[in-house]
Amino acid sequence: MSPYIARDPVRKDDRLLARGVFCILLALFSLTFNGMPEEPRGEVDFQVTRALATGEGWYLRDRAPSGSDGEATHDLDPELQEGVGEWAGHWFVRGGVGQALLGAPLYWIGRGIGAWVPALEERHSQQGYYGLASDDYFAHLALAWRGPLLTALTALLLVLAARRLRVERSHAWFAAFAYGVSTFAWAQSRTGADDVQSTFLLFLSFHMLLRIRARLTRLEYPRAGDLAGLGVAIALTLLTRLDTLPAVLVLCAATEVILTRGYGVLRDAPWGPERDGGLPGRVAALVVVLPVLAGAGFLLWFEHAKSGSWALPRPENFSPPAQWPAALAGLLVSPGVGLVWMAPLVLLVPFGIVRTRQRGERLLERVLLGVLAGTLLSAVATPAWHGGWTYGPRLLLPALPFLWLAVALGLRQAQSLPTGRGLVLGLLMAGVLIQLPGVLVSASTHLDLAHQAAPEKWPDGEWERMDASEGGALSHLHWDLGFAAPWAHWRILRHRSAGLGEEFDAGVLYGVEREAALHLSNPALEGFRHLVWVDLRRRLRGTPWAILVALGGMVILGIHLTGRGLVDRGR
């Protein structure tokens, strides 16, 4: 190889750093995640995953999941769609099927753990949860743990991607750690929604693309595994959430450019590089495209079974373009879910874009901005731009690791300012303080109480009209400072920390006059029961200490790996 060709920037120390941040964040996320679904969609995903894992298929047979009285649980009905034709009587999930596909192995892991502690499984089945016929406690936990696992893996990929873009080692680690503790990715990791999985898969696609580009830059043929991994990751992204399609198309365009340019350079190289397991250009393109086509074919079959149509599903609700500017403003700056509040370090993104231009990385700049634009387009085009009962701009989560890659690139420029280091640390601490109430108080708790108090804020039927309007009442709550998170979450947390019980004063929480006190409509939301280890201890009388000790050991391991990785060995 020519001495003028740069070596792969990802080395052993970088992998140690990535594993270190993974261990630390996985322990933190596992400490705060929610074992049981907070929303009906979570239970539907579990039921479909169980059906797939046990060989019943991609659907629920004969009827929707039932409650303890044997009747259909109406709360789940909006999340299910009955098939047509030969699939009549089979209930399909309205969203993607990627959740069930990747969740099946975790389901069996949970079943295996449950077989070791049958007493806990029995107590869980006797008490029930959220009014459903409750069983498979550890299977629920295993599937919910996918949120912490995939979010921590996204941070691991962030370190490796930043190093491949030759970001300083310490800055790569700092950005990945900040992604985990100072953005709404932490709160989203608790719920196990499909947003977490689609975010991981989309960024994994980009990571595989960077690996391919790195080999082409070194005048080496891409490995078949990297090419196939890129195609499979793209296919699974679409199967998990179809509204990631605009962002996926950006990555597909970048893939075409990188393969075309890279193989062109290989053909014109003054020496003949050995294939070393690499594939010719056309074969490489086929290896990427075939999994994507297979995923698209399965998606079409799934839609045909549900609706009888072979066309890709169209959005059920599509807001008119005239409403998009208001939705965009809400996603970016509204007090309740605005991106600049829920991820303050995002303000460093312009520094990263400037650095990509200085280094001539125009393709990277276009990918970062293209993914952001595509994700924003998908989010503002729906009336529920706020993402429903959630903490932070949930629909923007797929773009967040790409934005954080720009943050990693911009840290050097930001810290070169006269007060740059103080600015960066201040934004980091602000992000941590904003995420803590979102983790310690569930979004369902706050929004349940807020919906009870809101009619006093907007009397004379105004609240009912707002609730029936396009986008629902949440779009108004997120703009009101009295009802907006995270400030309302902090007030609820202060109330509980003072030992004042589960009876709340509407005037203290939301600044409105109400004669009756506020009470949660679901007992499962009381106190800190949404945290899995608290629920295990109080509801099931289990002992979580062994697990908590193991999580502490994982933190120590992560710190050790980080310390080793940050040492520059000059290699």
Structure confidence by residue, pLDDT tens digits, 296-311: 999 888 887 777 777 6
Q: How far apart are CA 284 and CA 277, in angstroms?
A: 11
* DSSP 8-state assignment for residue 192: T
pLDDT at position 220 = 86
Tokens 């930043």 correspond to what residue?
162
Give the torsion through C-alpha atoms of 126, 131, 137, 139, to 10 deg: 150
pLDDT of residue 208 exceeding 50, the answer is yes
How many residues appear in the chain?
571
pLDDT of residue 484 exceeding 70, the answer is yes
**CB 93, CB 48: distance < 8 Å:** yes
Quote helix, strand, coil % in the chain, to nearest 5: 65, 5, 30
Distance of CA 43 to the CA centre of its chain: 17
**CB 516, CB 530: distance < 8 Å:** no
Q: Name the more confident of 2 and 358.
A: 358
Q: How far apart are CA 304 and CA 281, in angstroms?
A: 35
Taking the domains of the chain in order of start, what are their residue ranges? 12-32+147-436, 40-144, 441-538
Give the pLDDT band of residue 553 (cuts 50, 70, 90). Answer: very high
Other beta carbons less than 10 A from residue 517's beta carbon: 12
Give 323's Cβ-side CA count (13 Å radius): 15
**Three-state secondary-structure class, residue 518:** strand
Structure confidence by residue, pLDDT tens digits, 239-258: 999 889 999 999 999 999 99
What pTM, to 2 d.p., does this model score?
A: 0.93
Helix (H) or strand (E) holding 80: strand 80-82
Least confident window among 173-187, 206-220, 465-479: 465-479
Q: Burial, 327: exposed, middle or buried (Cβ in 10 Å; 0-12, 13-18, 19+)?
A: buried
pLDDT at position 192 = 64
pLDDT of residue 172 exceeding 90, the answer is yes
**CB 522, CB 434: distance < 8 Å:** no
Query: What string of DSSP letters covers 60-78?
Result: EESS--BBTTSSB-GGGGG
pLDDT of residue 1 exceeding 50, the answer is no
The mean predicted confidence, pLDDT, of the chain is 86
**Three-state secondary-structure class, residue 308:** coil
pLDDT at position 464 = 77
Paired strand residues for 67: 132
Structure confidence by residue, pLDDT tens digits, 500-537: 888 999 999 998 888 788 999 887 788 888 888 888 88
Least confident window among 3-12, 29-38, 150-159, 333-342: 3-12
Give the pLDDT band of residue 190 (cuts 50, 70, 90). Answer: confident
Q: Burial, 267: exposed, middle or buried (Cβ in 10 Å; 0-12, 13-18, 19+)?
A: exposed
Both tokens of 565, joined, read 């990785």
pLDDT at position 74 = 45
pLDDT at position 273 = 64
pLDDT of residue 3 exceeding 50, the answer is no
Give the pLDDT band of residue 277 (cuts 50, 70, 90). Answer: low
Give the pLDDT band of residue 68 (cuts 50, 70, 90). Answer: very low
pLDDT at position 563 = 92
pLDDT at position 513 = 86
Q: Which residues contact 462 (CB under 8 A, 6 or more apart)?
A: none
pLDDT at position 315 = 53
pLDDT at position 66 = 46
pLDDT at position 571 = 44
Structure confidence by residue, pLDDT tens digits, 369-421: 999 999 999 999 988 898 888 899 999 999 999 999 999 999 998 888 888 89
Least confident window among 226-230, 326-330, 383-387: 383-387
Amino acid identity, position 290: L
Other beta carbons less than 10 A from residue 556's beta carbon: 12
* DSSP 8-state assignment for residue 539: T
pLDDT of residue 191 exceeding 50, the answer is yes
Q: How far apart are CA 58 and CA 96, in angstroms?
A: 11
pLDDT of residue 59 exceeding 90, the answer is no
Paired strand residues for 80: 93
Q: Name the more confident of 83 and 134.
A: 83
Give the pLDDT band of residue 228 (cuts 50, 70, 90). Answer: very high
Structure confidence by residue, pLDDT tens digits, 445-483: 999 999 999 888 888 778 777 766 666 788 888 998 889
Angle between helices 169-181 and 420-440 (to 10 degrees): 30
Measured over the CA atoms of residue 196, residue 202, residue 205 and residue 206, the dihedral's sign is negative
pLDDT at position 320 = 82
